[in-house]
Amino acid sequence: MSVNTVGDVEFGEQLPAFVPDTTLDNVKRFAIAAGWNGPRFTDHEAAKAEGLPGALVPGIMSQGFLSAMIHRWAPSAEVRLVDTVFRAPCIVDQTYKINGVVTDIDEDSGEVEIDLTVTNDADETRVFGTAKVLIPLTA
């Protein structure tokens, strides 16, 4: 179900999760566009030479995936804040799930708070945080 107004939102509601494209080709395109064309984001072997487990998904890309999930759920939402903690790296070419759950609703202002997570195949949380979004009061 797509959310159009704050009245459509339910406390505890799970946002529709999705699996983003974290392939090396996609991450490379993003890194170049963001001006972050460093080898830690674009080359597994170079990243390993830096002591990393592989090429990294840039943090701002993970935040973009979180914002995309919010807009898939509520296309007219205004994302005011995405505050994240990076607990462990997201590695390119691995599968991740983008998740969210509504934790607070202010029906007078339309502000909705969402807890966010990025989890891997082992269901380990790699990134977590909170979003504050403004959802229209009326359609």
28-82 confidence digits (pLDDT tens)? 999 999 998 889 999 999 999 999 999 999 999 999 999 999 999 999 999 999 9
Structure tokens at 135: 């959802």
pLDDT of amino acid 56: 96
What residue ranges do the domains of the chain occupy?
Answer: 6-134
Reported CATH class of domain 6-134: alpha beta
Rounded to whole angstroms, how far apart are CA atoms 29 and 42? Answer: 9
Nearest residue to 93 via CA among 5, 27, 12: 27
pTM equals 0.93
